[in-house]
Amino acid sequence: MPKPLVRVAQPGDIDEVVKQCAQHALFEKAKFSPQGKANRVHGALFSSLPRLWCFVAEAGSSIVGYAACTKDYSTWRAADYLHMDCLYLDPAYRNCGTGTEMMQMVAQQADALECTAVEWQTPAWNANAARFYQKLGATSSAKVRFCWDRRKLIS
């Protein structure tokens, strides 16, 4: 199997990226609805002031993985950082260096945006991902992630 090409996502990739998001959610045992996501992701990536950066792994004519990140600010560091929201590769394309290439693209984006760090999370049960990130020299911190649906804020 040929190694995928890692590149910046293009407008024509968005439907496939959303399909990869669905696969990622399934892998993480999370809920996911693709409804309306392609248009919103396209807008976040390709507006005059992008809020999202995305890299894809392409094998032949198929997208087999993606990494997506946003710029954020840390009050603790008093500096910008890049938040990697997602990194997902189809299981058939893992362990061939593609994940490392995608992380390098994320690091280059952090540098281009003058971010001091890259942060992300992975489920505590995903030992393979933790080993991968540790091999890259990343460190972890024990936290519990919470999410508050904005609709519940006003009820």
Say which CATH number the domain at 34 has.
3.40.630.30
pTM exceeds 0.85, yes or no? yes
Read off the pLDDT of each residue in 99-126 and give the average, rounded to a whole number: 95
Name the least confident of 2-6, 71-75, 144-148.
144-148
Give yes or no for residue 149 having a pLDDT over 90. no
User: Taking the alpha carbons of 128, 126, 149, 77 in that order, is the dihedral positive or negative?
Assistant: negative
pLDDT in tens, 28-61: 999 999 999 999 999 999 999 999 999 999 999 9
Characterize the bridge pairing of strands 79-89 and 62-74: antiparallel
More confident residue, 23 or 140: 23
Overall domain count for the chain: 1
What's the distance, Cα to Cα, between the start and end of the chain in Å? Answer: 52
Taking every pair of Cα atoms in the chain, the longest distance, rounded to a whole number of angstroms, is: 52
Q: Rounded distance, CA 93 to CA 65, Å?
A: 8
Closest residue by Cα to residue 1 from 100, 118, 125, 89: 89
Domain that holds residue 143: 5-153
